[in-house]
């Protein structure tokens, strides 16, 4: 017989249900165990269910395996957190449609919801947007905020990376199952986050692939979890704009937007948000002031250039292959190209290529971030 936790996990594994339908079932039957014990004819009478889903629920023994999901999560270094667990995030529990089950790798903390800031924006970010997203991520994390974003390329990647620069906390909310991370271009960043700097979180079964519906679901969690949402760069029609709309209209959270060049398509969404009442924000301290979170940064000396770097406890990394992108990047840094813009020009590579390389080299202790979104080779 399934436990209440296993019954909730089983419902979450049934394709096509989702949190809203599961909630309707729980309201009708009282518990996940009673839902799974109900006949298909009775299940079909529940609003939004119907015969096809009712048949799938009634056939749960043949199409789901909660035990296998739990074992697979453990093998990945993750755990399943259900709505009734004590460590389920309080901010998500207050949603009208909270996920019944979260897969979590890393550590959650109460302050993630209390001082969480969502930094969101386009995947096709400009160098300006990437530098600003990393700057906001770094300085807000240094001030004790948890950076919440979606682990996509572009603005999300830069925001998470900035939080790691500061040694702070960041939450990556995935638009796919956590077991699909190996396919992600940002797998190295995910590893760095899970290794003591926050958590990777997904409401989807472990091996659910991304599709057009999974990312809007992810966006609602980002909007609900954060106390404020900051849009760094976004076209008019984008997931970041959806997140900002949910934050303001559904959850009553403040929305901030960074202005950009008047002719930049990547800033059209930000300018529209500002026209519609979002707070124009050009520096992290402005956001902190507006939220009443101003104070002494928790790690204010992190970027002091005179501070000696602690010796790594692991062995020195292997020498880079001559002519590799990493080796060329280090050579460009040593030649004085210490910003993303200068590196793009020197190497003829786009910022979307350079940013992951910079993070990889930081993880390997070959590159150090400096104030003003600059870097130096170690």
Residues 7-37 have pLDDT tens digits of 999 999 999 898 999 999 998 888 899 999 9
Instruction: State pTM to two decimals.
Output: 0.78
At residue 296, does pLDDT exceed 60? Answer: no
Residue 317: the pLDDT is 60
CA nearest neighbour of 8 among 40, 29, 33: 33
Is the dihedral angle over the CA atoms 11, 97, 44, 56 positive or is it negative?
negative
Window from 39-48, 61-70, 96-105, 288-297 with minimum mean pLDDT: 288-297
Residue 305: the pLDDT is 38
Q: How many CB atoms lie within 10 A of CB 52?
A: 11
At residue 237, does pLDDT exceed 80? Answer: yes
Residues 77-88 have pLDDT tens digits of 999 999 989 899
How far is it, in rounded angstroms, from Cα 160 to Cα 140? Answer: 11
Mean pLDDT estimate for the chain: 88
Residue 373: the pLDDT is 63
Residues 41-63 have pLDDT tens digits of 999 999 889 999 999 999 999 98
Residue 363: the pLDDT is 60
At residue 148, does pLDDT exceed 50? Answer: yes
How far is it, in rounded angstroms, from Cα 152 to Cα 186? Answer: 7
What would the mean pLDDT of 110-138 be, rounded to a whole number? 95
Decide if 119 contacts 155 (C-beta within 8 A).
yes
Residue 325: the pLDDT is 85
Give percent of the chain with pLDDT exceeding 70: 91
DSSP of 285-315: HHHHHHHT--S--TTTTTT-TTSPPPPPSSP
Q: Which residues neighbour 30 within 8 Å (Cβ) at sequence distance 6 or greater?
A: none
Report the interhelical angle of 351-363 vs 127-142 (nearest 10°): 30
Residue 361: the pLDDT is 75
At residue 68, does pLDDT exceed 60? Answer: yes
Encoded tokens for 214: 């999974």
Highest mean pLDDT (candidates 1-10, 150-159, 292-301): 150-159
CA nearest neighbour of 121 among 133, 131, 137, 136: 133
CA nearest neighbour of 359 among 185, 199, 233, 102: 185
Decide if 49 contacts 16 (C-beta within 8 A).
no
How far is it, in rounded angstroms, from Cα 273 to Cα 210? Answer: 28
Highest mean pLDDT (candidates 261-265, 268-272, 312-316): 268-272
Q: How confident is the model at residue 104 (pLDDT cuts 50, 70, 90)?
A: very high
Distances (CA, A) of 78 to 20, 107, 167, 202, 344: 25, 10, 22, 11, 37
Q: How many CB atoms lie within 10 A of CB 299?
A: 14
Residue 340: the pLDDT is 79
Window from 62-71, 105-114, 162-171, 351-360 with minimum mean pLDDT: 351-360
How far is it, in rounded angstroms, from Cα 312 to Cα 364? Answer: 10
Window from 173-182, 207-216, 291-300, 342-351 with minimum mean pLDDT: 291-300
Encoded tokens for 197: 């700097």
Domains of the chain: 1-64 (1.10.150.20), 106-291 (3.40.50.450), 325-377 (1.10.10.10)
Q: How confident is the model at residue 356 (pLDDT cuts 50, 70, 90)?
A: low
Encoded tokens for 53: 């889903």
């Amino acid at each position: 017989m399934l436990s209440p936790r296993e019954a909730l996990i089983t419902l979450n594994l049934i394709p096509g249900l989702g949190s809203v339908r599961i909630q309707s079932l729980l309201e009708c039957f009282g518990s996940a165990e009673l839902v799974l014990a109900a006949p298909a004819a009775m299940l079909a009478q529940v609003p939004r269910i119907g015969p096809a889903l009712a048949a799938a629920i009634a056939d749960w023994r043949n199409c789901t395996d909660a035990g296998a999901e739990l074992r697979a999560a453990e093998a990945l270094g993750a755990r399943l957190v259900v709505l009734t667990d004590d460590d389920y995030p309080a901010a998500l529990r207050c949603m009208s449609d909270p996920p019944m089950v979260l897969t979590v790798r890393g550590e959650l903390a109460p302050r993630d919801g209390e001082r969480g800031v969502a930094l969101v924006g386009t995947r096709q970010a400009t160098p300006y947007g990437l530098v600003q997203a990393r700057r906001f991520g770094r300085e807000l994390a240094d001030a004790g905020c948890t950076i919440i974003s979606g682990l996509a390329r572009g603005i999300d990647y830069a925001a998470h990376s900035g939080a790691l620069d500061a040694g702070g906390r960041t939450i990556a909310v995935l638009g796919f199952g956590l077991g699909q991370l190996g396919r992600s271009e940002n797998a190295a960043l995910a590893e760095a986050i899970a290794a003591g700097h926050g958590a990777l979180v997904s409401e989807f079964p472990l091996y659910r692939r991304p599709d057009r519906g999974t990312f809007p679901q992810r966006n609602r969690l980002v909007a609900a979890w954060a106390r404020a949402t900051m849009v760094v760069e976004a076209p008019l029609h984008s997931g970041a704009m959806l997140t900002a709309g949910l934050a303001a209209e559904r959850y009553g959270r403040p929305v901030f937007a960074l202005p950009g060049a008047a002719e930049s398509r990547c800033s059209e969404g930000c300018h529209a948000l500002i026209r519609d009442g979002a707070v124009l924000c050009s520096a992290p301290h402005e956001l902190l002031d507006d939220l009443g979170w101003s104070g002494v940064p928790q790690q204010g000396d992190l970027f002091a250039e005179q501070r000696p770097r602690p010796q790594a406890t692991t062995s020195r990394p292997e020498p880079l292959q001559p002519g590799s992108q990493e080796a060329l990047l280090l050579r460009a840094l040593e030649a004085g190209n210490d910003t993303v813009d200068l590196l793009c020009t020197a190497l003829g590579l786009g910022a979307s290529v350079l940013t992951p390389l910079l993070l990889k080299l930081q993880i390997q202790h070959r590159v150090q971030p400096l104030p003003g979104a600059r870097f130096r080779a170690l």
